[in-house]
Each structure stands twice: as C-alpha cells, then as structure tokens.
Amino acid sequence: MTNPTLDRIYEKFINGDPLTNDDIAIGISGFDTLASIARQAGPAFSLTAREATRVVIALEDFEASRKRK
C-alpha cells in the first residue's frame, strides 16, 4: 500500500470520505508542517496557514475519538 498524499487526504477530508488511521497520522503531521511554513512565509499565506490549522485540529479530534472507542 502506498502512502497517501496530503492532497488526497485533504480531498477525502473535504468530501467526508472515510479516513484511515494512516491518513489521519500523515495528515496531522503534514498539515501541521504546512501551517508552520505558511505562517513563516508571511501574511500573504495566512489563509493557507489558517486552513491547514483547521484541518489539523479536525484530524486530531478524529484521532482522539477513535482512541476513546
């Protein structure tokens, strides 16, 4: 099985498609990195940073929910 890319994970996230545990772990790491880089790039990238942060928070919530089961 190949590693999912961030664009595929984002597409699944936006469409409400099921996410695997790997999708969630890779997504959290990747979008957190993206948010950090976008914040460092300055105000022109603030929307990117904000969206990446929103996705990280949602994926962390999914991860926590799965761990509670």
Q: How far apart are CA 30 and CA 25, in angstroms?
A: 9
Q: How far apart are CA 66 and CA 37, in angstroms?
A: 28
Amino acid at 26: I
Q: How far apart are CA 46 and CA 20, in angstroms?
A: 29
| pLDDT, tens only, 3-53 | 689 999 999 999 999 999 999 999 999 999 999 999 999 999 999 999 999
Token couple for 55: 């996705």
Half-sphere exposure of 65 (CA within 13 A, CB side): 9
Say if pTM beats, i.e. exceeds, 0.75. Answer: yes
